[in-house]
Structure 1
């Protein structure tokens, strides 16, 4: 995939081999600290596997400035009117928050943009951008009405999200609305989702600050067992009674309240109301073994796998546990030819059950560590990056290099990449390296809505004689989905799902479309993202070939300092001619778009290249939405260059544990040990390619 692609560094490099064995390539996910995970539990959403949800948070207290945008739009937040001061309602309380504006993202959103994560927000993904914007405007309008009319009825105005047929999509939307706009509630009427104001939120806002109200409803929505929520200290006993009464009246079956003595920073005692879930409020059922367990059960674990794809490993686990692949959540796809460690969460499986299958999974190349109960799925935002420990063997100078010794070449390469970084290409494993049909080809067929072609590409066999490829070969020859189904091993879950649908609906356009719909959304969109990644790689190569490391007029640059309350597109600035002349920006700020329906292209030769390239694949009119497959590709931006962190290395002799002295370097007997960290969505093989100046 990378043979004609560019480099950003100018050192000579060296040659060698990687992945001689899985133990030569070890990948470990860098997890968020546990305290950070606890902090985001109440705010996190269930993610679709391989799909990014762009998280938003509450904005800070509004600056005291006039609204400058037209009515109906959010300037600093959802509500620019005057809010009755909480201190007027009860002494000692102040501060107010509004819900995030439609374009607000956290600093975490900046990191997601920089890392090139490919999925948009839950709202835009499931509703589309126009409907998502209308939802935000409705939320802002409702808050404006509340702020200007003290007796406004929260339930008088409604907004329809339209019919949402898929049950999981409805659940994701319900959760997304509650987390983003705690002052709204959602109801479903015959698959149509309706949004309206939350009367309970409105009433509680009259008693406590809006920040407390928002935090309380997020606590209520998260339903984390054994968790508690405390209101701010309140010395007014009569006021505390009112708050107690409100919570018991509205949520008494679910929650219980109690006042506790607390001490402030000045060692002054005060009283605070603490809320917790009642023990009986947790749904329980009796399992076959006679013990009690929660209905919504999640078990977290660390998966160690060797010489297995992530989705293949999940297929094995799902088949053995009797659950669906979509019941697993994880934060990224890991290399096959490696030993990898990554956190996972599985739904509807007890820790005891997971422990039972440990020995069987070891025979498949997997080990399961650190098994424990948890409260929800993982999401992409929880991934900080990956740590790599790699051994490069068979080290040699390049065949045309005789001007320096090998150790100098290695040292030069390491320091150069440590300083200048590497071109941020997607690695070959993104596309199914070495396969007869690569994933981007399937993605292109899906974008062109060539459903039958996409199915046949999916079932194209490799040149091996094994049950899986024999079943694929048989299906392509006969189109006998039922017969091919009986030939496939149980762990080939995706293939079996698709074949069952094809057997029911037929191997025609409509039947193949329903077949693709039968597999999880994250797997469908995986192929389309592979195609988008291929286009990005080619665009980056073209950009560096014609302009090099110079930032030129029309380039897109990411403005980190541009603030939080603006859209991702507004954070991407088009370089002007005066800015080019002044060398205002560096190549490290230049981004290129991942194709989609909501991105802008460079205003130079690179933008023209995009249009010509998409025309070549008959996508010049593509809207990057495939309604029949529920696929929505808004696009995003990915930096051309990335930096490597914590890079270290040493040389070792072929005899294990013997380091090579400076004067005892023999090319045939040494190995290079490299350790480094990369941000999410960066590829170690691409970083190694820049270091060594060779392709794998």
Structure 2
């Protein structure tokens, strides 16, 4: 079949299991020439409508509230999922009764007197675990730190410390750590063997330079509480540069724990737009750990499964579009494998925190984007990469012709090729689409850079332009010449979801080693690991080619042999005993 120059150079060293002459043709003349249908773990095609998958609105669980719809949908700023009745007290529009905050310098021993929601319990804990003198000294230490900070006096020399002494009981130490941080968020606690040492929280002071002390106080209480599915909102802010500084601080200091997004303030006037920064805890990776029934019920999320049909659409663009329409983030979607762009593909997907009813409501909007969603139903958990049996392909080959200098009948050549595949099998190499056919930089090169922790190099490889004069490549050239992420964003077309997501993060964190690390983490895990898998695929191709060149198709010690059921091994021809293949789940 016709292959471009890039493919021939890159794959010329690969060995093939048969020596038939073959024939020429063209594939993927149009998306409808290449149809990919996922096969689920039960061996069923996912495009098949099932009688068991009955969509019943009456059985749908109550869904979380959604944010007000934005005037402009941005694929890069994917909204948080609102969670009803689980907000930590937010600062936007709060009254003085909600936050009885009095600076320490205004009243003697006000740190001891200050009361927040739930703080009385912390006072009781400190009183029950610490003797009266230690408790008083702790309060005095806290008040001294606050007075120095409020008077703008810099702490000279080593950071002051206060020791609570040795506490042998592990549970008591854990309780004290939490109680002190909740009562005095401007302090941190450090464990030294069995000793607890209290120090000033310099990150708290740094945040106070960006936001009010009231906001900093509540933010650190929120961090320490670690309440799952809760969120925290800073006061409305019209200054974009100031918001950028707050985003940068939170992500730099606590990016592995929380994530931040900006939203227009609800009920805000169009002439005077205020924006709030909302913080929420990152979703933890799926852990196969034992939990009590009560705990599992308390933390149970909503999961909705569906089949996604898309045509001539990159998968990450499809996910980004669905995320915006449903008010969730791209990482809330899970799937078993990636699918081609220039094709019609069917695949199973699961979206978290979205009910079947809400997904059903956007069906018509989705159709405008060359997509369809069907087989919608509630499930218990998300999907994992590789959670499928394989893919079914319908491939149309056009412009059939003989190889050069081959005078044989074309029909006979085609039948010969089919028989060779049926009798001898084939080597299931990862094809050029895995590595980026026709591109200067291939996905495996980016994957190798990531594996070597060369994140800046990986970013620059990602933005390497092709020899084309179009908006996308002009934007890439501009970025490599200037490293101006903000300017490149204005040039990069909206449909380039991955490029814009990376540029958004680089604009926020900078094109430094640390900034590039944060930028890569703006991608969902499945996309980050895609580049690493591409390098693994290259190694697989080279390893299997070496094996074929060394041993041919004969079975040797160490081979894994897959036999058909109910077939006697001795009755099989030698060529059938060994089929060198991989179980491809991400074509």
With the length of structure 2 as denominator, give the TM-score of the two structures: 0.52
Tell me by how many angstroms 1:527 deviates: 0.9
Equivalent position SS for 2:11: coil
User: 1:315·1:492 contact (CA, 8 Å) conserved in 2?
Assistant: no
Measure, in 1, the Cα distance between the counterparts of 2:284 and 2:18: 48
Equivalent position SS for 2:397: strand
Matching residue within 562, 580, 583 for 1:640 = 580
Matching residue within 496, 505, 508 for 1:504 = 508
Match of 1:13 in 2: 22
Measure, in 2, the Cα distance between the counterparts of 1:328 and 1:641: 30
Tell me by how many angstroms 1:434 deviates: 1.6
Measure, in 2, the Cα distance between the counterparts of 1:363 and 1:461: 30
Matching residue within 351, 367, 370 for 1:365 = 370
Asked if residue 344 in structure 1 is aligned to residue 349 in structure 2, the reply is: yes
Tell me by how many angstroms 1:492 deviates: 4.0
Change (3 A) 1:510 1:589: farther
Match of 1:236 in 2: none
User: 2:401·2:410 contact (CA, 8 Å) conserved in 1?
Assistant: yes
Asked if residue 479 in structure 1 is aligned to residue 419 in structure 2, the reply is: no
User: 1:315·1:491 contact (CA, 8 Å) conserved in 2?
Assistant: no
Tell me by how many angstroms 1:365 deviates: 2.3
Measure, in 2, the Cα distance between the counterparts of 1:439 and 1:381: 19
**1:384-423 mapped onto 2 (5 Å cutoff):** 384-402=389-407, 404-423=408-427
Measure, in 2, the Cα distance between the counterparts of 1:323 and 1:492: 19
Match of 2:384 in 1: 379
Equivalent position SS for 1:418: helix
Match of 1:439 in 2: 443
Measure, in 2, the Cα distance between the counterparts of 1:454 and 1:303: 31
User: 1:460·1:472 contact (CA, 8 Å) conserved in 2?
Assistant: yes
Asked if residue 24 in structure 1 is aligned to residue 33 in structure 2, the reply is: yes
Tell me by how many angstroms 1:282 deviates: 7.3
Tell me by how many angstroms 1:504 deviates: 3.0
Tell me by how many angstroms 1:519 deviates: 2.2
Measure, in 1, the Cα distance between the counterparts of 2:358 and 2:364: 12
Measure, in 1, the Cα distance between the counterparts of 2:504 and 2:341: 27
Larger Rg: 2
Tell me by how many angstroms 1:457 deviates: 0.9
**1:521-532 mapped onto 2 (5 Å cutoff):** 521-532=525-536
Match of 2:331 in 1: 326
How much is the aligned-residue C-alpha RMSD, in angstroms? 3.5
Measure, in 2, the Cα distance between the counterparts of 1:520 and 1:400: 50
Measure, in 2, the Cα distance between the counterparts of 1:483 and 1:28: 40
Measure, in 2, the Cα distance between the counterparts of 1:23 and 1:470: 30
* CA offset digits 1:344-371 (Å, max 9, x no partner): 1112223343334333333332222222
Matching residue within 155, 172, 185 for 2:286 = 172
Tell me by how many angstroms 1:396 deviates: 1.4
Change (3 A) 1:524 1:452: same
User: 2:388·2:585 contact (CA, 8 Å) conserved in 1?
Assistant: no
Asked if residue 452 in structure 1 is aligned to residue 456 in structure 2, the reply is: yes
Unaligned runs of 5+ in 2: 1-9, 47-51, 53-254, 258-280, 564-572
User: 1:426·1:682 contact (CA, 8 Å) conserved in 2?
Assistant: no
**1:677-688 mapped onto 2 (5 Å cutoff):** 679-681=583-585
Measure, in 2, the Cα distance between the counterparts of 1:471 and 1:11: 46
Measure, in 2, the Cα distance between the counterparts of 1:501 and 1:518: 7
Measure, in 1, the Cα distance between the counterparts of 2:562 and 2:27: 36
Measure, in 2, the Cα distance between the counterparts of 1:530 and 1:382: 18
User: 1:462·1:469 contact (CA, 8 Å) conserved in 2?
Assistant: yes
User: 1:334·1:340 contact (CA, 8 Å) conserved in 2?
Assistant: yes
Measure, in 2, the Cα distance between the counterparts of 1:479 and 1:439: 21
Equivalent position SS for 1:641: coil
Tell me by how many angstroms 1:169 deviates: 7.6
* CA offset digits 1:592-626 (Å, max 9, x no partner): xxxxxxxxxxxxxxxxxxxxxxxxxxxxxxxxxxx
Measure, in 2, the Cα distance between the counterparts of 1:358 and 1:463: 39
User: 2:337·2:386 contact (CA, 8 Å) conserved in 1?
Assistant: no
User: 2:338·2:586 contact (CA, 8 Å) conserved in 1?
Assistant: no
User: 1:443·1:530 contact (CA, 8 Å) conserved in 2?
Assistant: yes
Measure, in 2, the Cα distance between the counterparts of 1:27 and 1:519: 25
Change (3 A) 1:361 1:534: same
User: 1:328·1:345 contact (CA, 8 Å) conserved in 2?
Assistant: yes
Measure, in 1, the Cα distance between the counterparts of 2:546 and 2:24: 25
Measure, in 2, the Cα distance between the counterparts of 1:362 and 1:169: 30
* CA offset digits 1:489-533 (Å, max 9, x no partner): 555443334323322332122221222233222222211211121
User: 2:386·2:585 contact (CA, 8 Å) conserved in 1?
Assistant: no
Tell me by how many angstroms 1:170 deviates: 4.7
Measure, in 1, the Cα distance between the counterparts of 2:43 and 2:439: 39
Measure, in 2, the Cα distance between the counterparts of 1:513 and 1:302: 33
Equivalent position SS for 2:391: strand
Tell me by how many angstroms 1:313 deviates: 1.9
User: 1:320·1:357 contact (CA, 8 Å) conserved in 2?
Assistant: yes
Change (3 A) 1:15 1:350: same
Change (3 A) 1:296 1:640: same
Equivalent position SS for 1:398: coil
Q: How many residues align?
A: 340
User: 2:15·2:548 contact (CA, 8 Å) conserved in 1?
Assistant: yes
Asked if residue 515 in structure 1 is aligned to residue 519 in structure 2, the reply is: yes
Measure, in 1, the Cα distance between the counterparts of 2:586 and 2:325: 32
Greater share of strand residues, 1 or 2?
Answer: 1
Equivalent position SS for 1:558: coil
Match of 1:539 in 2: 543
With the length of structure 1 as denominator, give the TM-score of the two structures: 0.44
Measure, in 1, the Cα distance between the counterparts of 2:553 and 2:528: 36
Tell me by how many angstroms 1:301 deviates: 1.6
Measure, in 1, the Cα distance between the counterparts of 2:551 and 2:505: 49
Tell me by how many angstroms 1:317 deviates: 2.0
User: 1:31·1:384 contact (CA, 8 Å) conserved in 2?
Assistant: yes
Change (3 A) 1:19 1:461: same
User: 1:306·1:336 contact (CA, 8 Å) conserved in 2?
Assistant: yes
Equivalent position SS for 1:471: helix
